[in-house]
Structure 1
Amino acid sequence: MSGIQPKIMIIMGSASDKVIAQKTIKVLDEMKIAYDLKVASAHRTHERVKHIVKTHSNIDVFIAIAGLAAHLPGVIASFTDKPVIAVPVDVKFDGLDALVSSVQMVKGVPIATMGVDRGDNAAWLACEILAVYDKSLQDKLVVKRESYNQKIENSQIELIEDIATDSYKFSTEIDEYSDEIKDVNIPKDVEVVVLVEEDTDNKLVDSLATKLNLLGLNYLLEKVSLTNPDLISAYMKSQESVKVYIAVSGLSTVLIGAVVAHTTKPVIGVPCSTKLNGLDSLLSAIQMPPGVPVATLGLDAVENAVIYAKKIIGK
């Protein structure tokens, strides 16, 4: 890759995090995306972190991998306007300390946090961000997502061969079923689609709209119900001009999962503190399986979600 300028930089808090970094690198290699790799500690080598970030203006996305107090992503974000993705590492407390340190950022300094040890999803999100202005990369992401169907089908066949008994019978499918989802009219200048669960606090919705207007983003904001999944699918189907999605949801955050399942464009998830002080919402939004990343922000952090969307769009 000599002569190619990397657009993604991976910064590790310690070389001991290399196993997590290797997950990130594996995805970037698969997608043929050039990256740079650094080691710097937010606490022990603060000036080194600052120097790395400030002297690499060509980088479009920073991926920070850190455990324990995990302040590295926040320090990086304080020195750049580019999107920062955090990967909390399981060192103690199953990584919960690092996860909370990364995701619960102050207002104005958003970080997209992945699940614990999910270096792979950090790479997928970084690719989605780069693909906002790279059609060929976007096409590759679509092909990759579609390949999961065949992978699941193959695993089902292997499972049946492995554990099915004489009582197993293949159920008959119905001859016809309608799956006609009508298009939703999304204006061609809309860059951000915001889908909010219908019982979300109106104060959060108002703050969201105010910030979108303040930052001059062209957006469509709709409250949706999980009892009408076809409507959610319709919003996701009509996505040609859309660059970023923001999904706001409480409890099990099914809405956030539904949005990311329908697109390979960046999805920013905002869990809400509805019950259990929001811990249920936070964990169900952030602990996504491989290949379907959600740029999860802190509880009720709708203003930070808008700022992060602005960073992705980059204008």
Structure 2
Amino acid sequence: MTTPFVAVLMGSDSDLPVMQSTLDVLSSFDIHFEVKVTSAHRTPAATHAYVTDAEERGCKVFICAAGLAAHLAGAVAGITTRPVIGVPIDAGPLQGHDALLSTVMMPGGVPVAAVAIGKAGAKNAGYLAAQLLAIGDDAMAERVKADRQKNAEAVIAKDAALQEKLGR
């Protein structure tokens, strides 16, 4: 039996500083992942071959990061029926707005889930992948719930500290 994993694809190695947030989240949930630099435009055959092979080996979710024209997520979605999450990278003269539009403007029947531009989106891509995996994995669902509770408790603690500082 193969171990389910998430494939994290980047259009360029320059996307890694942003996508490190994705890898950190996946690691925090003990989710196996692979990371690959591949391009919808410059290496389309290699992208197709990797996606097909990864799906056969047990990939459950693809996370694709790209800036500018940002066609990687759409190209991957055209190859697989697994969930694809697109992360628009904040690059170029439009600071990722072009990448966001390229990611979300998919034709009907070929969906790509899009997250926010940049590091916040990269982090949320990891969380969304965990939530998708949790649909069929009760242990993962509990880890996701526990993480959400931990985040809520951190906000409550910060508010309590603020109120104490203000003397309230």
When normalised by structure 2's length, the TM-score is: 0.91
Query: Structure 1 residue aligned with 2:147, among 144, 148, 151?
Result: 144
Structure of higher RCO (CA pairs closer than 8 Å, 6+ residues apart): 2
Q: Is the 8 A contact 1:4 1:34 kept in 2?
A: no
Moved over 2 A (4+): 3-6, 157-162
Distance between the aligned counterparts of 2:3 and 2:31, measured in 1?
A: 10
Query: Structure 2 residue aligned with 1:10, among 2, 8, 11?
Result: 8
Query: Structure 2 residue aligned with 1:127, among 118, 125, 130?
Result: 130
Q: Which residue of 2 aligns with 1:199?
A: none
Deviations 1:41-89 (A, max 9, x none): 1111111111100112211100001100000000001111111000000
Q: How does 1:262-301 map to 2 (within 5 A)?
A: none
Q: Identity percentage over the alignment?
A: 36
Distance between the aligned counterparts of 1:149 and 1:71, measured in 2?
A: 35
What letter is aligned with 1:97? D
What letter is aligned with 2:66? A
Report how far residue 28 of structure 1 moved: 0.8
Q: Is the 8 A contact 1:78 1:109 kept in 2?
A: yes
What letter is aligned with 2:48? K
Report how far residue 148 of structure 1 moved: 2.1
Q: Which residue of 2 aligns with 1:32?
A: 30
Give the structure with higher Rg (CA). 1
Distance between the aligned counterparts of 1:145 and 1:120, measured in 2?
A: 14
Task: Show structure 1 runs of 5+ residues with no match.
Answer: 171-315
Distance between the aligned counterparts of 2:24 and 2:31, measured in 1?
A: 10
Normalized per residue, the structure richer in helix is 2
Deviations 1:114-135 (A, max 9, x none): 0001111001111111111100
Report how far residue 5 of structure 1 moved: 3.0
Q: Which residue of 2 aligns with 1:113?
A: 114
What letter is aligned with 2:36? K
When normalised by structure 1's length, the TM-score is: 0.50
Task: Show structure 2 runs of 5+ residues with no match.
Answer: none
What letter is aligned with 1:142? K
Report how far residue 19 of structure 1 moved: 1.1
Distance between the aligned counterparts of 1:27 and 1:70, measured in 2?
A: 22
Q: How does 1:44-123 map to 2 (within 5 A)?
A: 44-56=42-54, 57=56, 58-92=58-92, 93-117=94-118, 118-123=121-126
Distance between the aligned counterparts of 1:116 and 1:12, measured in 2?
A: 14
